[in-house]
């Protein structure tokens, strides 16, 4: 009924790597050291590539800047951190973010002291005539409606004579017209001095987000009629009340 006889054991012989070429004999300590060294090299490579990408991104595409001053109130406050789109330097006309437009908040080297950077808003484009009458801006004789301004920072209502914006130059102004050193005082900004336009605020908390671009609904600047000899007509100045 029960078979208590000892089962026969079959001798299979010794195991050798020659029995199967797919068998690998591993020295675990050696392999672990080798794996750690390999992974370290891969990590160093990945970190290096990430740093290269960030450096290239910062050189050619985006740069952080810090607002210093109050000339762009209420849009920008002192100490805020912005991201600047540097692709406008390459004047890519096929997309809006690739070139400069009226209403853009731009960062540029101050023409009088190129070691300083200013942040202002583009008001006048190349070839236009810009004039300020009693605090209101006129482009080629047409009033520019600037909804981004507030009365608190625009009470002096000055008048400035008309000025033509030269080719490859821009007329810029701060939103805080009562306390802004801009093109009214020191002139135009050469296009080559503008190294980016601000598009995103990443500091202070609570105000993080995209910046407001100047919108000018139903605005159509009249074309300037050239006089004989290439001169332009003068606009009548209005005294400050």
Residue 35 and residue 80 share a domain? no
CB crowding 39-72: b at 16 or more within 10 Å, else e? eeeeeeeeeeeeeeeeeeeeeeebbebebebbbb
- Quote the pLDDT of residue 220: 64
Residue 70 and residue 38 share a domain? no
Tokens matching residue 112: 């009088």
Residues across the chain: 241
Catalytic residues: 71, 120
Structural domains in the chain (count): 2
Print the domain residue range for 36: 23-58
Instruction: Please compute the mean of the pLDDT values over residues 61-86 and round it to a whole number.
Output: 91
Q: Would the pTM of this model clear 0.85, i.e. be above it?
A: no
Computed over every residue of the chain, the mean pLDDT equals 79
Q: Which residues contact 14 (CB under 8 A, 6 or more apart)?
A: none
Segment holding 83, helix H or strand E:
strand 81-85
Instruction: Please compute the mean of the pLDDT values over residues 80-86 and round it to a whole number.
Output: 92
> Looking at the domain assignment, is residue 83 inside a domain?
yes
pLDDT at 140 over 60: yes
Q: What CATH number should be reported for the domain holding residue 174?
A: 2.10.109.10
Q: With 0-12 CB in 10 A as exposed, 13-18 as middle and 19+ as buried, what is 102? A: buried
Instruction: Please compute the mean of the pLDDT values over residues 43-64 and round it to a whole number.
Output: 68
What proportion of the chain, given as a percentage, has pLDDT over 90? 49
Residue 186 and residue 163 share a domain? yes
Residue 121 and residue 50 share a domain? no
Residue 196 and residue 98 share a domain? yes
Residue 116 and residue 37 share a domain? no
Q: With 0-12 CB in 10 A as exposed, 13-18 as middle and 19+ as buried, what is 103? A: middle
Which residue did the predictor score with more confidence, 113 or 30? Answer: 113
Residue 37 and residue 131 share a domain? no
Confidence of residue 215 (pLDDT cuts 50, 70, 90): confident
Tokens matching residue 45: 């490579």
Residue 149 and residue 92 share a domain? yes
Q: Looking up tokens 């740093």, which residue turns up?
A: 51
Instruction: Please compute the mean of the pLDDT values over residues 69-82 and round it to a whole number.
Output: 93
pLDDT at 69 over 70: yes
Instruction: Please compute the mean of the pLDDT values over residues 182-203 and round it to a whole number.
Output: 94
Residue 140 and residue 49 share a domain? no
> Looking at the domain assignment, is residue 173 inside a domain?
yes
Beta partners for residue 64, in sequence order: 83
């Amino acid at each position: 009924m029960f078979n208590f006889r000892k089962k026969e054991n079959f001798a299979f012989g010794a195991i050798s790597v020659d029995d199967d070429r797919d068998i690998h004999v591993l020295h675990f300590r050696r392999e672990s050291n080798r794996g750690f060294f390999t992974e370290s090299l891969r990590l160093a490579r990945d970190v290096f590539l990430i740093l290269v990408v960030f450096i290239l991104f910062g050189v050619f595409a985006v740069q952080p800047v810090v607002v210093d001053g109050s000339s762009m109130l209420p849009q920008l406050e002192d100490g805020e951190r912005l991201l600047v789109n540097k692709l406008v330097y390459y004047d890519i006309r096929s997309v809006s973010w690739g070139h400069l437009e009226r209403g853009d908040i731009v960062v540029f080297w101050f023409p009088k002291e190129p070691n300083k950077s200013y942040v202002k808003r583009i008001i006048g484009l190349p070839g236009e005539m810009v004039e300020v009458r009693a605090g209101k801006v006129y482009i080629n004789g047409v009033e520019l409606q600037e909804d981004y301004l507030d009365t608190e920072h625009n009470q002096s209502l000055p008048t400035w004579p008309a000025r033509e914006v030269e080719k490859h130059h821009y007329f810029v102004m701060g939103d805080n017209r009562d306390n802004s050193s801009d093109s009214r005082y020191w002139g135009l900004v050469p296009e080559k001095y503008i190294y980016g336009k601000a598009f995103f605020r990443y500091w202070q908390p609570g105000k993080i987000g995209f910046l407001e671009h100047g919108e000018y609904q139903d605005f159509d600047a009249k074309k300037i009629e050239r006089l004989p000899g290439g001169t332009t007509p003068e606009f009548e100045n209005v005294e400050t009340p």
